Amino acid sequence: MRPLLFSLCLLAAASSFMTLARAGEPAAAQPAAKPFELLDGDRVVFLGGTFFDREAKWGYIETALTSRFPDRNVTFRNLGYAGDTVRCEARTVCEGWANFGPPEEGFDRLKRLITEIKPTVVFIAYGMGESFEGEKALPQFVADYNKLLDMLTEASGAKPRFVLVGPNYHEDLGRPMPDPAEHNKLLKAYCGAIESLAAERGARYIDLFSRLNAGKAERLTDDGIQLTPSGYIRAAGAVLAGLGDTASEAASKSGTVADARTEPLRLLIVAKNANFFNYWRHENDTYTLGYRKHEQGKNAVEFPEFVKLTEEKDKEIAALRAQLAPELRLQRDEKPGK
């Protein structure tokens, strides 16, 4: 791992000569599109399965977005849940030995969190797990995704701006690992469905499948699917590019950026994410919320304390972001060769 590589010259490189990209197409073929910006006061939620669950532990995408808009007060809450689907199947509570509640329970638990956070922007990354259900499941996937978007709109109390992030491609790690060719065909089909859904809903679409596969010079996954830290560095650039900042994507691909300015920010973000994780995803909710809550349910009163810790970290992040803002703005405004 190159922990300082990210450093987000990804962001400093986003200068006045950037090329704007239409989300969902390879960068080389894209006409100009209006950039998607985070606004002062935005409350951003990351929602999805393992992709965003692991992002919370590394913080590269959140650092990229925070540093891209250093003069704006934006807060982030990561609700990624490993193994989750658009049906919220992983978010249920254990109700007995190897017996979990129905997806509706997970859906309602998520709804309560969205009602509490009231996000103005939601980044959503689903489709990888669902792709294993095959092409025949695509219509149901789209229907479930629409149901999720409707719930998020209602529970937020406003009309949040949605950014739909497609699944990354299945990396070929060589034999004896399975040949991912057929799975990648399915992933492309799911990406197409998500892109169409984004267009219908007036949302932004980010094509990780194409962007992470283009110009790849190193292994980006642990197992062909789940991204390594280097993979998340590339994904951070791809997210910024999908929002209209292709100069940042080019910097993330080059592998030559080694600037430590944003590393303290990233570490604060990771610590903040850990505090918020302990608030909404408890170490063993069977004992605090589930069928054994008679044993330790009294400890649930401590959960709100993690909200306070999260908000304290928000303040530290804001202070550090403000210190970085003048330098990052200056470098983004520089002309090539200056």
Closest CA to 252 of 237, 263, 262, 241: 237
Q: How far apart are the C-alpha atoms of 230 and 78, rounded to whole Å?
A: 20
Residue 202, pLDDT score: 97
Per-residue model confidence (pLDDT) at position 30: 40
pLDDT value of position 325? 78
Report the amino acid identity of residue 84.
D
From first CA to last CA, the distance across the chain in angstroms is: 31
Parts of the chain with a pLDDT under 70: 1-33, 97, 246-259, 328-338
pLDDT for 31:
44
Residue 335 pLDDT? 46
What backbone torsions phi and psi does residue 326 show, to the nearest 5 degrees? -60, -40
Which amino acid would we find at residue 327?
E
Q: CATH classification of 9-333 is 3.40.50.2300, yes or no?
A: no
DSSP letters along 13-82, please?
T--TTPPP--TTS-GGGPPP-PPP---TT-EEEEEESHHHHHHHHH-HHHHHHHHHSTTS--EEEEEE-T
Q: CB-side exposure of 124: number of CA atoms within 13 Å? A: 30
